[in-house]
């Protein structure tokens, strides 16, 4: 199966980083977010990727075009502009980068694959990191025969929680659990049936497609209880780097 990664948005909430690069190339612990996403896919045996680029998409092309160069041991002879490759620490990945336009919406980007994808495929946002087991996600999808199966997660609260008695704080918790609500974690298995629901490049996966499929009883949910970290802000990026440093990510 192929894994499709949405990598075309502007990432304006992380403008400190995305003024210079697309969000999937923002680095966490020296590696781009998209590398972390693809490494976790590899743990489930998924190594064929389609990247839907847009904003600063040329930088994504350059990253993969030069990927082997950054993994190799090299000798550069500056007298005659030659180089010798000693060892390449490559990865068994096949990567297709498709330009889907700067202003195209999420479903519109997926719609560009109508003639390319004829079988079920994985889909991920390019700014969310998780240790999800894609084989388990796929198994549930096949069992229930839905058009789309999304990953449901329970995010922690973003703000500290106070227990008050009048004007006195009885307890303070910096990182409380969330309210128990399940949200879209951004990892999907999708059937080609989705293309029937994409009417234009302005169509949104979250606003136009998923609600319609849910109303028809064909949207499944795989509950993920493991690691999940979206990267929307600098603080989110810091949390991800703290997790990497603590050894929470199994592919590091």
Q: Residue 122's pLDDT is what?
A: 98
Q: In degrees rounded to 5, what are phi and psi of residue 72?
A: -105, 160
Inter-residue contact 187 to 128 (CB < 8 Å): yes
Q: Which of 132, 105, 113, 133 is nearest to 51 (CA)?
A: 113
Span 189-210, mean pLDDT?
97
The whole model's pTM is what? 0.91
| Structure confidence by residue, pLDDT tens digits, 5-62 | 999 999 888 998 999 999 999 999 999 999 999 999 999 999 999 999 999 999 999 9
What is the sign of the dihedral through the CA atoms of 238, 131, 13 and 97?
positive
pLDDT band at 168 (very low <50, low <70, confident <90, very high): low
| Structure confidence by residue, pLDDT tens digits, 80-89 | 989 898 888 8
What is the sign of the dihedral through the CA atoms of 43, 49, 53 and 59?
positive
Arch. (CATH architecture) of 2-245: Alpha-Beta Complex (3.90)
E-assigned strand segments in 111-210: 121-125, 128-130, 148-153, 161-165, 168-173, 183-190
| Structure confidence by residue, pLDDT tens digits, 98-115 | 999 999 999 999 999 999
In eight-state DSSP terms, residue 154 is -
Give the lowest-confidence range in 74-78, 84-88, 105-109, 141-145: 84-88
């Amino acid at each position: 199966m192929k894994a499709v990664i949405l990598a075309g948005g502007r990432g304006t909430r992380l403008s400190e980083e995305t003024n210079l690069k697309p969000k999937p190339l923002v680095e966490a612990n020296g590696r781009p977010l998209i590398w972390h996403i693809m490494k976790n896919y590899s743990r489930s045996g998924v190594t064929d990727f389609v990247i839907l680029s847009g904003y600063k998409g040329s930088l994504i092309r350059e990253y993969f075009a030069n990927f082997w160069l950054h993994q190799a041991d090299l000798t550069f002879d500056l007298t005659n502009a030659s180089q010798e490759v000693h060892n390449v620490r490559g990865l068994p990945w096949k990567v297709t980068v498709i330009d889907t336009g700067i202003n195209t919406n999420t479903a519109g980007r997926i719609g560009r694959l109508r003639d390319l994808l004829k079988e079920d495929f994985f889909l991920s946002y390019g700014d969310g990191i998780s240790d999800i087991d894609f084989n388990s996600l796929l198994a549930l999808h096949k069992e229930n025969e839905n058009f789309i199966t999304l990953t449901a997660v329970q995010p922690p609260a973003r703000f500290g929680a106070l227990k008050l008695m009048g004007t006195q704080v009885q307890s303070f918790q910096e990182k409380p659990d969330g309210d128990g609500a399940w949200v879209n974690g951004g990892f999907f298995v999708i059937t080609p049936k989705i293309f029937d629901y994409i009417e234009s490049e302005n169509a949104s996966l979250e606003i136009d497609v998923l609600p319609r499929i849910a109303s028809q009883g064909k949207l499944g949910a795989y509950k993920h209880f493991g690691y999940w970290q979206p990267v929307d802000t600098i603080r989110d990026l810091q949390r991800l780097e703290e997790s990497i440093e603590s050894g929470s990510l199994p592919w590091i």
